[in-house]
Amino acid sequence: MRELLEELVQRGMRAGAQFAEVRAGTWRGASVTAEDGRIHRCSTYSSRGAGLRVLVRGAWGFASTDNLDPTSLRTALDEAIAMASAASPRVAQAARVAEAPSVEALSRAPVRMPPDSVSLSERVGAVAAFEERLRKHHTAIVNTIVNYTDGGGVTELVNSFGSYVRWEGSTCSLYLTAVAANETTRQSAFSGYASPRGFEVVADLDPDEVSDRTAQRAVDLLSAAEPPAGSMPVIVDPEITGLIVHEAFGHNCEADLVWAGESIVAGKEGQQVAAECVTIVDDPTWDWHNGSFEYDDEGVPARRHVLVQSGVLTEYLYDLEMAAHFGVAPNGAARAGSYHDRPLPRMSNTFMEPGDAELEDLIASVDRGVLICGDRGGYVDTTRGHFTFFAETGFEILDGRLGRQIRNCTLSGYTLETLRGVLGLSRDFGVADRGTCGKHGQGVRVSLGGPHMLVREITVGGSRIGEDT
């Protein structure tokens, strides 16, 4: 296969390309869903194909194919060249790519139990065990869902810099949802685990402990109060710190959004964008977490990115094209969802570094506010720098002490205003290894995290105004 991919790149260069690249791969896996005491879905899948990209006279052409035979690959290359040639007279600003060193590498993730080495019946049985324990935890549990997916395969990259990278690995994930209900309300709790590893992601979990903890959170929410409403001091847990860092801030550091005028930190390198205690890092080399990799999808070696150092913006995330536009060296942040997708600047494992406070001291410093826990997603406007996030639960804080549990919490604010208003960070640190991040229709594996974070003021959504209403 390598020889064929190299021949395609050479053919593209002979046709007049300034840059040519081929990514080809094969992948296979399984998916299992258990719901309310039955196996709702069990399926296997496989895929194979390649994506071919060329830069011709300042214009990009990209084509993909689901076949790896020479005829299909050459046809896809010809289509990519034809697209770029047709577009080149009409580009407003000619695209370029930054030079990158030639790389020859094999990247192999540390997989202990390749998914296809475990029988499908054993994988189904593990999923059923988690669901059964979830369902039987409490009589208030009325709906249980456990989703499992895995996959494994090989991807190869050849480009006109002379690089060849071969990735061998797998992924595995497990997600649990429990819904509890009483006469007046329904509440849910969610847990997730994902990693670029094998079936050990599931085998190393205790079904009783994981399922009981998830189900009990849903049950506890039935008796929780609605949150107070208004702007107030807020402490967020590591999950929500990570959510703010990734969704509200991190996307703004992706250089294509900076270049497009869709980032609130465009032109702010070297400027203070957060409180002095805030350091934000994106690190794909970090100990094989969910967003980890050794080489990005353009064959550039991965490295740690310090986006914010002591409150000062220090770096963006680049692919080859954006690195050329900004006149910097590529920094290994180009990622593609599959061979059907072209690489883009993307995050990996994004987190805020911990501080030096104890959580108890952060709580004691708040007269009236809330502690918010559990990421349930949300939405962000990167152009305006505004976010709205949803949380599973939390606790009121009154006179420096935790009060009653709350539920159905919403947090809204402006990203830079929030980060500049950070008053303290805890020593404890947590990371959520479970998610994928979507951008331009393609998803990539990510992790996020940080410490408990105290912010001077965030708007909390709820049905109560103040303490007594």
Q: How confident is the model at residue 467 (pLDDT cuts 50, 70, 90)?
A: very low
Instruction: Determine the Cα angle at 250 with ends 244 and 252, to 5°.
Output: 115
Q: Name 412's bridge partners.
A: 388, 459
Q: How many residues does the chain have?
A: 469
Distance CA 279, CA 307 (A): 8
Structure tokens at 458: 């965030």
Distance CA 10, CA 159 (A): 9
Q: How confident is the model at residue 21 (pLDDT cuts 50, 70, 90)?
A: very high
- The DSSP secondary structure of 305-316, one letter per residue, reads EEEEETTEE---
Q: How confident is the model at residue 309 (pLDDT cuts 50, 70, 90)?
A: very high
Q: Which pLDDT does position 363 carry in this prediction? A: 98
Q: Which pLDDT does position 383 carry in this prediction? A: 87
Instruction: Report the chain's mean pLDDT, rounded to a whole number.
Output: 96
Please, what are the domains in the chain? 2-221 (3.30.2290.10), 228-465 (no CATH)
Distance CA 373, CA 407 (A): 10
Distance CA 124, CA 44 (A): 12
Q: Which pLDDT does position 468 carry in this prediction? A: 36
pLDDT tens-digit series, residues 36-74: 999 999 999 999 999 999 999 999 999 999 999 999 999
The stretches of 88-144 forming alpha helices (DSSP H) are 120-136
Residue identified by tokens 């991190």 is 250
Cβ neighbours for 92, distance < 8 A, ≥ 6 positions apart? none
Q: How confident is the model at residue 469 (pLDDT cuts 50, 70, 90)?
A: very low
Distance CA 430, CA 432 (A): 7
Q: Which pLDDT does position 463 carry in this prediction? A: 56
Q: Which pLDDT does position 466 carry in this prediction? A: 43
pLDDT tens-digit series, residues 174-209: 999 999 999 999 999 999 999 999 999 999 999 999
Q: Name 24's bridge partners.
A: 50, 156
Amino acid at 389: F
Residue 140 pLDDT greater than 60, yes or no? yes
pLDDT tens-digit series, residues 378-400: 999 988 999 999 999 999 999 99
The stretches of 252-353 forming alpha helices (DSSP H) are 255-259, 320-326
* Mean pLDDT within 129-157: 98
Specify whether the CB–CB gap between 226 and 182 falls below 8 A: no
pLDDT tens-digit series, residues 91-113: 999 999 999 999 999 999 999 99
